[in-house]
Amino acid sequence: MTFSAGFLTAIVYGSLAWCALAALALAVLLVKDLASGETW
Amino acid sequence: MNEGSAILAPMTGWILLALFSVLWIGLGIYWGRRNKTFEDHALAGRTVGLALGSATAAATWITSNTTMLAPQFALQLGIWGMLAYATASFGLFLFAPMAGRIRKLMPNGYTSGDFFRLRYGKGAWSIFLLFTLFYSLTWLVSMAMAGGILLNALSGIPYVWGMSVILAVCVIYTMRGGLAAVIGTDFIQTLIIIVGIVIVGFAVLSNVTIDEIHTNLAAERPALLSVLFPAAIMAIFNNLLFGLGEVFHNNVWWSRAFAYREGVGGKAFFIGGLIWFPIPVAAGFIALVSGVLNVPVPAADMVGPLVVVSVLGEIGAIAIFIIVFCSLASSIDSLLAATSDLVTEDIYRRMIAPAATPTRLKKVAQIITLGLGLFTWAVCIPRIGTLASVLFFAGPLVGAMIWPIITGLYWRSANRAGAVGGMLLGAGVGLVCYFAIGWYVASLIATAVSMVWVLACAWLSRSRFDWDELRESP
């Protein structure tokens, strides 16, 4: 039993998209913290 | 590896090293200006927000291992290898609720050592300090050594120079800026690493399709696609437990739990785990491309950079250099800061100078950071090749501390006999198994033995701990 090409596609593209979203989310969180004066 | 086989010209490597060194040191000095007391220096004033808190949790866990070892895992253990590596993020997920509880129970705490001293007394505290200092120093030395080796392999910069520069840069900005500098630089480093991985990943995929990768693996190395790959499935348990033990006990993570603004800790660690979770797959799949592109791989741990360079040329080499440099710095600075705080708070303040002023403690923490840097540098000079096995040796010590921490945070019935016995028995049996069977079972057995002892002691105990005893005045 082997992992299919579809599964490999899903985890590779999924992880790259996830990373891109994570970077975006961090930037948004920082702007939000800066606006509310709660950066540190 | 020498200059001839490096993927980047030494001059380019030196320029990049100089640019980032100036940036980190400049930011460290800038962010360190507001630090007046030990609390400012060690815990960034206990007011770290969600964005910086989430990024630092992820960045500290992204070591050079994550970016360099993930492709090696994929090359040797296939799809399961990448997924197994991703389970290391569970340490962050499971620490999330604990971080909130730690902040609530110990509003004035500084270190994980404070918890052991107040919760279980001096005997357990001493054992904990011995275990955690051994582990932290080994990790610190292995990271600095990895820095020298990787910079040499990537750009031909001589090992001693590369190791010395990266260590010196981290020591300088951690000394000047304390945890604020560590957390601030972590945010930038996280963004650089993630964006770099995404760009490199999509660039590789623009040259090779997943179908081509799958077809090549099915023909050349079908085991890497196997759903039932025993060695890879074993790696899941090993990574999971090692990750849990490391995050649960180490002051690197506890200092962040104390430093976050109230109500932020749980969310920050959970988001940090979410940020980290996809990285082993996003960085690791690149290794699976080596077969399709016929990239020769003389050493498995260099597969990632070699594939990237074959696809992207010098730009790819520069990207890998920056990603690796950021990964190394984000871990070395955190280890320096957390270990220095542990020595300052648990040894200097609690054993030597209880009356030391907050300003004096800050000074001492800076001197200890410098001392740790010099110690690490001296140990790294000979370039011992077997240090990874020493880190595995610490696995049973780390595993044996998991249950005393979990039960100590949540159960009133958890007690001193359970903690002391759990740590000593777990570590002892784990180390025997390390030599008698192998490293891959040592952490698992240490954790299991410690668990049985700790739970039995808690079950038989009639004492009930008063949580207020953890609320020590600052």
What average pLDDT does range B387-396 have in this prediction?
73
Residue B113 in this model has a pLDDT that exceeds 90:
yes
pLDDT of B64: 63
pLDDT of A30: 94
What average pLDDT does range B42-57 have in this prediction?
94
Instruction: Give the pair of three-digit tokens for residue B335.
Output: 């280890």
Round the average pLDDT of chain A to a whole number and report it: 94
- Compute the count of residue pairs across chains A and B with CB atoms less than 8 Å apart: 113
Residue B467 in this model has a pLDDT that exceeds 50:
yes
B362 and B452 share one domain = no
Element (H, E) at B370: helix B358-380
Tell me the HSE value of B439 on the side-chain side, using a 13 A CA sphere: 11
Mutate to test the interface with B, among A2, A7, A21 (most CBs of B within 10 A): A2
Place of tokens 């990207």: B319
Sorted by sequence, the CB contacts under 8 Å of residue B140 that are 6+ apart come out as B332, B335, B336, B339, B372, B376
What is the total residue count of chain B? 474
What average pLDDT does range B457-465 have in this prediction?
95
Tell whether ipTM is more than 0.85: yes
* CA B387 – CA B175 distance, rounded (Å): 26
> Of the ranges B3-7, B230-234, B246-250, B426-430, which one carries the lowest mean pLDDT score?
B3-7
Instruction: Give the pair of three-digit tokens for residue B30.
Output: 């800038």
B165 and B223 share one domain = yes
* CA B80 – CA B239 distance, rounded (Å): 12
B152 and B225 share one domain = yes
Tell me the pLDDT tens digit for each residue of B137-178: 988 998 898 888 888 888 889 999 999 999 999 999 999 999
Q: Are B376 and B333 in contact (CB under 8 A)?
A: no
* CA B232 – CA B222 distance, rounded (Å): 14
B241 and B271 share one domain = yes
Inter-chain touch A40–B191, beta carbons under 8 Å: no
Task: Give the SS3 label for residue B442.
Answer: helix
Q: Select from B45, B218, B261 the Cβ nearest to the Cβ of A2.
A: B218
At B25, is the pLDDT very low, low, confident or very high (cuts 50, 70, 90)? very high
Inter-chain touch B282–A15, beta carbons under 8 Å: yes
Q: Which residues of A touch B (CB under 8 A)?
A: 1-5, 7-9, 11-16, 18-20, 22-23, 25-27, 29-30, 32-33, 38-40
At B389, is the pLDDT very low, low, confident or very high (cuts 50, 70, 90)? low
Domain holding B57: CATH number? Answer: 1.20.1730.10
* CA B205 – CA B254 distance, rounded (Å): 39
Inter-chain touch B261–A33, beta carbons under 8 Å: no
Last residue of a domain, one of B347, B363, B387: B387
Last residue of a domain, one of B387, B419, B449: B387
Inter-chain touch B227–A3, beta carbons under 8 Å: yes
> Of the ranges B13-27, B108-122, B434-448, which one carries the lowest mean pLDDT score?
B434-448
Q: Indicate the Cα dihedral angle B44, B50, B55, B61, nearest 10°.
A: 80
B363 and B427 share one domain = no
What average pLDDT does range B349-375 have in this prediction?
96
- Residues in chain B with CB shorter than 8 Å from the CB of A23 are 191, 194-195, 198
Phi, psi of B48 (to 5 degrees): -70, 130
pLDDT of B366: 96
Total structural domains within chain B: 2
Residue B237 in this model has a pLDDT that exceeds 80:
no
pLDDT of B167: 96
B331 and B429 share one domain = no
B371 and B428 share one domain = no
Q: Which domain holds residue B146?
A: 3-387
DSSP code per residue over B68-84: HHHHHHHHHHHHHHHHH
Question: Which has more confidence, B429 or B305?
Answer: B429
Q: Select from A14, A16, A30 the Cβ nearest to the Cβ of B51.
A: A30
B332 and B448 share one domain = no
pLDDT of B1: 46
For residue B291, give the nearest of B198, B215, B231 by alpha carbon: B215
B348 and B471 share one domain = no
B405 and B374 share one domain = no
B237 and B308 share one domain = yes
pLDDT of B395: 84
B382 and B409 share one domain = no
What average pLDDT does range A11-21 have in this prediction?
97
Inter-chain touch A26–B274, beta carbons under 8 Å: no
Residue B438 in this model has a pLDDT that exceeds 90:
no
| Alpha-carbon distance values, B395 to B226, B248, B277, B426 (Å) | 28, 13, 22, 11
Tell me the pLDDT tens digit for each residue of B29-39: 999 888 999 99
Last residue of a domain, one of B387, B417, B437: B387
At B385, is the pLDDT very low, low, confident or very high (cuts 50, 70, 90)? low
